[in-house]
C-alpha cells in the first residue's frame, strides 16, 4: 500500500523489503482545552507535521530502536521493558509494554523513527510517536486492534511511561484525523463527528513561543487532581455526578467556595464545554468571527482561572487581540509554553507575523517560529 505521503529522507537507509512505514501526525485543537480528562468535548485535527516509523521483525526477543533526530540506537529486552523517563524511547517502550499487558503477542522488532513535529511545542509529538508505534506493531504482528483501542493503548503508555495523566484528545486526533476536517470528540463516550473546516478568507497559523517550562507535566497532573477534588465536593450534594461533564455553573456556585482555587478550575472547565458546543454551531453557520471570539475567551479562562498560560503566551495573544486581522487566538494544548493558535486573514498574515516576531525578540530575546497549518489524514501505513 502506498499513500499520498512521501517517505522522509532520513528514514531511507532503514527501508528493506520487509519493512512497513507508518505516518502518525501531530495535532492542533481549535477549542476545548483541558476538557478531555473531565469527560467533556474537544475539537482537534491532525496536521501536516508527523512522526514516521520504519519497522520490521528481527526474529529475536529484543527491541532495537533508532532515532534519526537524536542519531542514537538503543536496545532492550522484550521481556524486561521499563520506562526510561525523559528519553525518546520511553514512548515506544510504553506502547510495547501496554500491548504485552493486554496479552497481545509481539516478537522482537527493529524500529527507526523520524519526526518533523516540533518537540515541546504543544503539537503532541509524544502522542504521534505512541500512535505510530501502536499502529505499526498492530500491522506488523497482525494483532487486529481497532483504532479506538490503539488510542487508549497509546494514552496509557503516556500515563505509565511518560508520567503524564493526559486525556484522550491527542492520541485520538492523531489516529482519527481526516483531511480538512476537525473532529468533535465526546471524551466520555468516544463518539465523534467530523466537521469540514472552512475558514474562507482566513487561515490557521501557530505561533511557537519557543518556551517549554519543566513544570508543565507536574502542573498538568495537579490540574487533573484539582478537577477531581471539585467533583468530590459537588458529589456531596449531587451524588449522581461522575465528572465535570455532569456539572453546571449553578452546581459549582452552590457547592464550592468562590475563594477556593478549585472553584476557578471547575468554572473554567464547565464554561469551556459550553463554549465548544456554541462554537460548533458557529462553524456550522459559517460564522468564523463568532467562533474566533470564543477562542479569545478560552485564552482568558486558561490564563486567569485555569492558570496554565505563561507570560510569553499571554503576550502573543495580546499582540493580536486588538488587530482586525486576527479574529481568534489562544494558547493551545497543555500550556506553560508551546504555541498559540490564531485565525488570521490570509493576506495580512505575513506582515503581521513579521511585526510580532520582531517585538517578541525585543521583549523576550527569543526567536518566534510560525507554522501555517494544513489539516491532514490521521495515522496510516505509507509503505508496506
Per CB under 6 A, does 272 bind ligand GLA? no
Residue placing its CB nearer to ligand GLA in the complex, 97 or 272 = 272
| Beta carbons within 10 angstroms of residue 222's beta carbon | 13
Partner residues linked to 113 by β-bridges: 53, 67
Whether 191 sits among the annotated catalytic residues: the reply is no
Residue placing its CB nearer to ligand GLA in the complex, 40 or 55 = 40
Per CB under 6 A, does 44 bind ligand GLA? no
Residue with cell 533526530: 69
Partner residues linked to 2 by β-bridges: 383
How far, in Å, are 66, 168, 217, 227 from residue 307 at the CA level? 37, 21, 14, 13
Q: What share of the chain is helix, strand, coil (3-state, %, to 5)?
A: 45, 25, 30
Residue placing its CB nearer to ligand GLA in the complex, 115 or 333 = 333
Kindly identify the residues of this chain, within the stretch 308-347, that bind ligand GLA according to CB under 6 A.
333-334
Question: Contacting ligand GLA (CB under 6 A), which of 25, 118, 167, 279?
Answer: 167
Options 4-12, 28-36, 245-253, 312-320: segment touching ligand GLA (CB under 6 A): 28-36
- In sequence order, the 6+-apart residues with CB closer than 8 A to the CB of 11 are 21, 52, 54, 68, 112, 114
Per CB under 6 A, does 169 bind ligand GLA? yes
Beta strands in 71-132 (DSSP E): 72-77, 109-115
Residue placing its CB nearer to ligand GLA in the complex, 122 or 292 = 122
Options 11-19, 140-148, 165-173, 251-259: segment touching ligand GLA (CB under 6 A): 165-173
* Backbone Cα Rg of the chain: 21
Residue placing its CB nearer to ligand GLA in the complex, 177 or 333 = 333
Per CB under 6 A, does 36 bind ligand GLA? yes
Instruction: Check if the beta carbon of residue 113 is closer than 8 Å to that of residue 10.
Output: no
Per CB under 6 A, does 230 bind ligand GLA? no
Residue 308 CB, nearest distance to ligand GLA (Å)? 8
Residue 170 CB, nearest distance to ligand GLA (Å)? 5
Residue with cell 462554537: 279
Contact residues toward ligand GLA (CB under 6 A) are: 33-34, 36-37, 124, 166-167, 169-170, 333-334
Which residues are catalytic, by number? Answer: 170
Amino acid at each position: 500500500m502506498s499513500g499520498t505521503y512521501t517517505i522522509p529522507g532520513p528514514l531511507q537507509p532503514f527501508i528493506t523489503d520487509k519493512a512497513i512505514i507508518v505516518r502518525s501526525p501531530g495535532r492542533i485543537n481549535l477549542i476545548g482545552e483541558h476538557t478531555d480528562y473531565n469527560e467533556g468535548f474537544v475539537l482537534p485535527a491532525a496536521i501536516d507535521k508527523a512522526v514516521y516509523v520504519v519497522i520490521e521483525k528481527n526474529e529475536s526477543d529484543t527491541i532495537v530502536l533508532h532515532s534519526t533526530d537524536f542519531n542514537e540506537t538503543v536496545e532492550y529486552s522484550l521481556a524486561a521493558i521499563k520506562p526510561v523517563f525523559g528519553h525518546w524511547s520511553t514512548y515506544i517502550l510504553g506502547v510495547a509494554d501496554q500491548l504485552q499487558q493486554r496479552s497481545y503477542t509481539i516478537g522482537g522488532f527493529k524500529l527507526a523513527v523520524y519526526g518533523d513535529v516540533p518537540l515541546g511545542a504543544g503539537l503532541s509529538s509524544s502522542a504521534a510517536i505512541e500512535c505510530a508505534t501502536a499502529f505499526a506493531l498492530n500491522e506488523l504482528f497482525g494483532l487486529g486492534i481497532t483504532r479506538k483501542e490503539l488510542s487508549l493503548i497509546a494514552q496509557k503508555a503516556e500515563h505509565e511511561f511518560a508520567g503524564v495523566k493526559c486525556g484522550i484528545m491527542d492520541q485520538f486526533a492523531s489516529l482519527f484525523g481526516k483531511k480538512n476536517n476537525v473532529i468533535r470528540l465526546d471524551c466520555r463516550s468516544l463518539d465523534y463527528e467530523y466537521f469540514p473546516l472552512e475558514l474562507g478568507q482566513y487561515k490557521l497559523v501557530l505561533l511557537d513561543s519557543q518556551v517549554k517550562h519543566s513544570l508543565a507535566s507536574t502542573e498538568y497532573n495537579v490540574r487533573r487532581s484539582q478537577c477531581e477534588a471539585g467533583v468530590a465536593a459537588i458529589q456531596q450534594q449531587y451524588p449522581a455526578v461522575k465528572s465535570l461533564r455532569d456539572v453546571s455553573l449553578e452546581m459549582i456556585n452552590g457547592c464550592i467556595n468562590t475563594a477556593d482555587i478549585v472553584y476557578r478550575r471547575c468554572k473554567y472547565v464547565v464554561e469551556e464545554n459550553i463554549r465548544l458546543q456554541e462554537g460548533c454551531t458557529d462553524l456550522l453557520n459559517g460564522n468564523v468571527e463568532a467562533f474566533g471570539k470564543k477562542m479569545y475567551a478560552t485564552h482568558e479562562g486558561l490564563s486567569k482561572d485555569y492558570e496554565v498560560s505563561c507570560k510569553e503566551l499571554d503576550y502573543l495573544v495580546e499582540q493580536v487581540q486588538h488587530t482586525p486581522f486576527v479574529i481568534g487566538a489562544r494558547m493551545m494544548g497543555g500550556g506553560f509554553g508551546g504555541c498559540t493558535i490564531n485565525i488570521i486573514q490570509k493576506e495580512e498574515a505575513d506582515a503581521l507575523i513579521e511585526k510580532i516576531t520582531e517585538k517578541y525578540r525585543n521583549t523576550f530575546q527569543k526567536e518566534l517560529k510560525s507554522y501555517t497549518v494544513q489539516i491532514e489524514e490521521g495515522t496510516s501505513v505509507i509503505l508496506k
